A and B are shown apart, each in its own frame.
Chain A
């Protein structure tokens, strides 16, 4: 089974800071996703990547960018953090042939002050 690791479980940042959220998977999967989860809103897709250096915007990409330089690593970047980006961020991937079975990392809870 794939393992998805998000290096930072809890972060506290100040408005305007640049924030990097790192995600690593150990199975050489092509597809990786970044979601944010907010009460009452469910999971919303920010960005996804289907291969190295390939990315596509999700439903709420504003204020975010991503980087996929290596297959196993997918980074979410907040260029200038704002308080409305306080949220739980979840990285995910899926195994080939199991498109709907997402494996998530444990999540990164970001608080922007």
Chain B
């Protein structure tokens, strides 16, 4: 079983739609959680951290469910520019990037 699992998609949604991705992690000791975004043929970049109480950044909302060991990303009012692969990232040692574990990504295409 993979340590971090994501639905690979692709998710094809129309502009303006709301779309949600889930990610499950297997290590219950995981401490830090993130979503990275990777555009086609580009490098990954941090999109947002995921806090225990949930957090929002504009149209993006991230939530953490420790009991069920999953995190989610909700994108409201999708834009064409949101088309990318979204990587779920988990760290079970918050003080060491060595312990970052990446999911394989969920591909999103926003259609006009």
Contact = CB atoms under 8 A, between A and B. Distances in A.
Nearest to B32: A100
Number of contact residues on B: which range applies?
20 to 34
B43 A90 contact: yes
Interface in A32-84: 33, 35, 39-45, 48, 56, 58
Given A42-B87, A42-B105, A104 B98 contact: no
Contacts, number: 53
Interface of A: 31, 33, 35, 39-45, 48, 56, 58, 90, 94, 99-102, 104-107
B45 A100 contact: no
Given A33-B97, A101-B46, 9 more contacts: A42-B102, A45-B100, A56-B98, A99-B91, A100-B32, A100-B46, A102-B100, A104-B45, A106-B43
Interface in B56-112: 87, 89, 91, 94-98, 100, 102-105
